[in-house]
Amino acid sequence: MAIAKIEKEIAAIPEKKEKLRSAFETLRTHLSSSSFPISVPDWKDIDAHISSVEATIRRDFEALRAKEATKPPSALPPHSFVPYSKENPSTEEQPSAVPEHESAPRPELAALCANMDGKGLVSFIVNHRKDSESIRYELTPAIRSSPDPAKLVLDALDMFYFPSSTAKGDAVEKLTTRRTCINLLERLMTIEPNIGPPLREQALKLAREWKKNLIDEGSDNGMDVIGLIQLIVSYRLVSEFTVDGLLELLVLICRRKQAVHLCRSLSLTEYVPDLIEKLNHKGRQLDSVKFVYAFDLVDKYLPVPLLKAYIDETKKAAQDVRKKRNYSAESENIAISKQLGALKSVVKAIEEYNLENQYPREELDKQIVELEKQKESKQKESKKRTSAAALKNAGAASHSKVQNQQKPNKRSRPSTTTLTPNTVAEQTLPPGRSLPGPHGMIPGHPGSYLHPPEAAGFIAPVDFYERPIHYGGYPRVATIPPPYVPSQHPRPYGPYFYP
């Protein structure tokens, strides 16, 4: 039987299973109304058995496909499908983590699996990642030897979102932990263990929570999505999710090399046209081309128009970037980088799918050269502006520093004398009367006083010659004082003035 025909029959399994379920429910209704008590099994048990058989068929089919792909082209049937890859046609379709042969597991690895320590198994692999080449050949037999491989791996999945304390602050260990969990799921699919209804329900609950987290967080992280899809496939949960929901998950990882393989594992081969339409609607025609060739839909979806549409979509996206950022230099660099990446990807696709005759690349090469020149010119202009701004700021700072150094230190102005109640009272006294005041020629320094006048609450007059008349003082007129006559100013007596 041809590969394409086998693939078509496998793709029809979900539809046939749905018809069987409908017939089974009709039979159950008929038997329940019968007078004879007949025990009828639960549909979940039947569905689990069918899913297990389906997984076996798919595994054998993938092995057959890989075997056919390794044959020389002349030995292949004329209409058989070969997954495309330039280096090795089978590498795109097979999980990269599954080795070709197995080795006896080391004691530590065997003990972790025998003890059903899923979290310890993940930690061991992460901590010994430098020895991954040896472990990869020991892992599958170690998992197979455990009492319950499906439960072992399901317990290990707790480490996907809740890693050990050693991995919380380390991005590398976190990424390695998630890859290890996905690796375990891939190996579980090849082992095909028995999955009882309770364990399947537990896996289904985890898958639904996983998907809800992706939606709530708006995450499009490829590693998270691949982990969820692999969980659905490995625990045979495809029938529990809608086709549209599964296609949306594939859209998120369509650029990954596992996308085509996971699409087949999800039994979505017949829905690939819907997937391609979703990708085209999102402006991801380049990813559509990969599925067009992988599922032999070239007659229905011409690759060259898809590639040209992808270039047009990229130009629109680049222009939107310019508008949103007001045509700044940064937006110009981002837009040019987007266009360059798209053109180079299209050129690579032309080479991979041998489309040179249908889509000559000369014009694309010219556009790439022109955009690279523009990008280089914009980068030089940006560097010049940055250097000029730095020099200007440095010059302004230096000038300000020099001015501060040359500026003289200003003395603070003395405060104006404030009138006190005594001064006000002195100005309001009648003519001929005055308050007692200090004596002598120099204000504030009467030669025969024990304390300065300020201590007694007196304020020295502002004018030198305007002094109060008291005890032989001078009149309050601006005249030259008379000569000093000692007899007119007797010296005071007492122990306080003379020793």
Q: Estimate the share of the chain in helix, then strand, then coil, as percent rounded to the nearest 5.
A: 60, 0, 40
The predicted pLDDT at position 280 comes to 94
Range of the domain at 340: 302-384
What's the structural domain count of the chain? 2
Q: What is the pLDDT of residue 428?
A: 46
CA dist list (Å): 275 to 49, 343, 366: 29, 23, 33
Whether 26 is covered by a domain: the verdict is yes
For residue 240, which of 207, 265, 278, 199 has the smallest C-alpha distance?
207
Tokens of 373: 């020149």
In a domain, 359, yes or no: yes
- Does residue 469 belong to any structural domain of this protein? no
Tokens representing 95 are 């999980």
User: Residue 370's pLDDT is what?
Assistant: 92
The number of CA neighbours under 13 Å toward the Cβ of 311 is: 18
Cβ(142)–Cβ(109) under 8 Å?
yes
- Model pLDDT, residue 310: 94
Q: What is the pLDDT of residue 300?
A: 93
Q: Which two tokens stand for residue 93?
A: 């379709």
pTM exceeding the 0.75 threshold for the entire prediction: no
Which helix (H) or strand (E) covers residue 330, if one does? helix 329-352
360 lies in a domain?
yes
Per-residue pLDDT of the chain (499 residues; tens, 9 = 90+): 467 778 778 878 888 888 888 887 888 777 777 666 666 677 777 877 787 787 778 777 777 777 666 554 333 333 333 333 333 433 344 444 444 578 889 999 999 999 999 999 999 999 998 888 889 899 999 999 999 999 999 999 998 876 544 444 567 788 889 999 999 999 999 998 999 999 999 999 999 999 988 877 666 678 899 999 999 999 999 999 999 999 999 999 999 888 999 999 999 999 999 999 999 999 999 999 999 999 999 999 999 999 999 999 999 999 998 888 888 888 888 889 999 999 999 999 999 999 999 999 899 999 999 999 988 887 777 777 777 667 777 666 666 666 666 655 555 555 554 444 444 444 444 444 444 444 444 454 444 444 454 444 444 444 444 445 444 554 555 555 666 666 666 665 555 544 4
Phi and psi of 479, rounded to 5°?
A: -125, 165
What residues contact residue 267 under an 8 Å CB cut-off, 6+ apart? 10, 11, 13, 14, 54, 58, 238
Residues in the chain: 499
Q: Considering 57, 75, 93, which residue would you say is the last residue of a domain?
A: 75
- Domain final residue pick, 335, 368, 384: 384
Conformational region of residue 411, where left means phi above 0, alpha means psi within -120 to 50, and beta covers everything else: beta
Q: Is the residue at 13 inside a domain?
A: yes
Domain-located, residue 376 = yes
Question: Is residue 28, in this structure, part of any structural domain at all?
Answer: yes
Which pLDDT score, from 0 to 100, does residue 483 have?
66
- Burial (CB count within 10 angstroms: exposed 0-12, middle 13-18, buried 19+), residue 316: exposed
Q: Give the per-residue pLDDT at 223.
A: 87
Of 75, 93, 110, the one marking the end of a domain is: 75
**Phi and psi (nearest 5°) for 300?**
-90, -35
DSSP 177-207: HHHHHHHHHHHHHHH-----HHHHHHHHHHH
Taken in order 349, 355, 358, 363, the sign of the CA dihedral is: positive
| Contact (CB, 8 A) for 453 and 437 | yes
In a domain, 119, yes or no: no
